[in-house]
């Protein structure tokens, strides 16, 4: 994670313990929605997961790809970055 990353959600519950915005332009409400969509899609440890995620800040839907890295790194074509820590 980069120096612009900010912690959005921390939880002691499984399967994810933290959700991070990858930079200042990525909102926490969107980051939390990405983590929820990723969880609902059934996370993969071997393949990229493709999602469509709604941003409550912009009121738009974004194509989002989540890579099976540690932490999981999700990105959009517009440059949003979200990290999901398992």
For residue 26, the 8-state DSSP code is S
Classify the C-alpha dihedral 5-63-44-39 as positive or negative: positive
pLDDT in tens, 5-53: 999 988 766 666 899 999 889 999 999 999 999 988 887 788 999 999 9
Separation of alpha carbons 20 and 8, rounded Å: 5
pTM exceeding 0.95: no
Q: Domain ranges in the chain?
A: 6-85
DSSP SS3 for 2: coil
């Amino acid at each position: 994670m980069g120096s612009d990353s900010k912690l959005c959600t921390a939880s002691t519950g499984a399967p994810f313990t933290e959700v991070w915005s990858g930079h200042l332009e990525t909102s926490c409400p969107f980051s939390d929605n990405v983590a929820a969509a990723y969880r609902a899609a059934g996370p993969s440890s071997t393949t990229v997961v493709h999602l469509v995620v709604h941003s409550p800040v912009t009121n738009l839907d974004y194509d989002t790809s989540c890579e099976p890295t540690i932490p999981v790194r999700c990105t959009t074509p517009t440059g949003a970055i979200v990290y999901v820590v398992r």
